[in-house]
Amino acid sequence: MSEKKNDDFISYELQEFKLFEPLFRWARKKSLWIVAFCTGCGGIEMPPLATARYDFERFGIMPNPAPRMGDLFLITGYVTPKTLKRIIITYELMQDPKYIMIHGSCPINGGVYWDSYNVVKQFDKYLPVDVAIAGCMPRAEAVMDGIMEIMRKIEDGTADSWKRYRENYEYYRKNQDELFGEGWREKEARRWLAWI
């Protein structure tokens, strides 16, 4: 059943490696590296998860400062347009397969910033999301539960946000351009790398 569901999506892997896919899925599930980019107020929920009490390293989860090696992108709180630019650039630096988990009410529907002019109300208009944890703020147990959920989704192949980003790139690109204006990537790049 789950196999059939996966065939509906575009397959990016070579047919020869189909045989090893269960092995790689197991490896992906057991070794999620978090991109250490903590936005908003949920970043403070990470230390209790990493330290002796909840210890997410026993599931192979490791905070990784390099986005190229990262797998799991945590959006831990409200997202402003300025942060969203960085989030999108970091997300596109990461290599497939990559997963996004959002914490708290703010990225889902704005939360307490529902009438703020400078907060992104609905995060999944700009980037695809695998798991969303509601709450303000979700406690460490809830975050752990979200991580368990994403591990389960990776194993049965339904954590497919990276595929959705490729398939619906036009849609996401349109929404991003609506928010930041056309050509924002080039403008941002030129701010930091003046020589290009």
Partner 1 sequence: MNFDVRLVLEVIGMLLYATFMGFIFMGIERKAMARIQRRVGPPIYQPIIDTLKLLGKKESISHGFIYDFGPIFALGASITALLFLPLANFQLFSSNADLIVVAYLLEVPMLGIMLGAMSSGNPYSALGVQRGLLTMVAMQLPYGLAIIAIVQHFGTFKLGEIVALQQVHGWSILVPALLLAMIVFDIVFQAMIGLEPFDIITAPAEISMGPMLEYGGKQAAILFTQHAVQLFAETAFFAILFLGGASNLLELLIKQIAVLFIAIFVASIYPRFTIDQAAKFFWKWPTIIGIIAVLLTV
Q: Under rule CB under 8 A, how many of the chain's residues touch partner 1?
A: 29
Measured CA to CA, the distance from residue 190 to residue 192 in angstroms comes to: 5
Q: Which amino acid is at 115?
A: D
Nearest alpha-carbon partner for 119 in 155, 75, 58, 59: 75
Radius of gyration for the chain, computed over Cα atoms and rounded to the nearest angstrom: 17
Nearer to partner 1, 71 or 107 (CB): 71
Among 48, 60, 81, 157, binds partner 1 (CB under 8 A): 60
Of residues 13-32, which lie at the interface with partner 1 (CB under 8 A)? 13, 20, 23-24, 26-28, 30-31
Q: Sort residue 112 into left (φ over 0), alpha (ψ -120 to 50) or beta.
A: alpha
Among 7, 10, 16, 58, binds partner 1 (CB under 8 A): 58
Q: Residue 44, interface with partner 1 (CB under 8 A)? A: no
Nearest alpha-carbon partner for 136 in 115, 97, 107: 107
**Cβ contact 103:137 at 8 Å:** yes
| DSSP-based three-state secondary structure for 193 | coil
Nearest alpha-carbon partner for 25 in 10, 37, 13: 13
Nearer to partner 1, 45 or 71 (CB): 71
Tell me how far, at minimum, the Cβ of 99 lies from partner 1, in Å. Answer: 12
Interaction pattern, residues 82-121, with partner 1; x per rule: CB under 8 A: ------------xxxx------------------------
- Residues found near partner 1 in the complex (CB under 8 A): 12-13, 20, 23-24, 26-28, 30-31, 33, 36, 51-52, 55, 57-60, 64-66, 68-69, 71, 94-97
